[in-house]
Amino acid sequence: MNNAKRSILAFVSALSLAAALGATPAFAADKTYQVTGPVLEVTDSVITVQKGKEKWQIARTKDTKVMGDIKVGAKVTITYTMTATSVEAKADGKADKAAK
């Protein structure tokens, strides 16, 4: 294989790897979930929905898209995402014992 072909192959491989690694976080952020049930309470910042025996409180902001009139008793389907706001790593007990 000549140098030009090797260079092109290396470039295409690097580009494919960068695209795959760069796209991974975007796919995770796009994951959405849904909860459906009657509205128990609605405020400017939270919608509370009954799902089975559980009460689900879903936060909302001024950017939340609302289609229709949300009122107590109305059946709604809420689409939401899960995003971490903080992460705290704890020391592994096994690693601590090995270090001593």
* pLDDT-derived band at 33, boundaries 50, 70, 90: very high
100 falls within a domain: no
**Are 37 and 10 in the same domain?**
no
**Are 9 and 38 in the same domain?**
no
Q: Mean pLDDT for the chain?
A: 80
8 Å CB contact between 80 and 32: yes
8 Å CB contact between 81 and 31: yes
Cα gap 55→37, rounded to integer Å: 10
**Are 40 and 68 in the same domain?**
yes
pTM above 0.75, yes or no: no
Mean pLDDT confidence for 51-58: 96
45 falls within a domain: yes
Residue 43 in this model has a pLDDT that exceeds 70:
yes
Tokens of 43: 């405020």
CB atoms within 10 A of CB 56: 16
How many distinct structural domains can be found in the chain? 2
86 falls within a domain: no
For the chain, percent of residues with pLDDT exceeding 90 = 58
Q: Parallel, antiparallel, or unpaired for β 46-51 and 75-80? A: unpaired
Q: 22 is in which domain, residue-wise?
A: 1-30
pLDDT at 12: 53
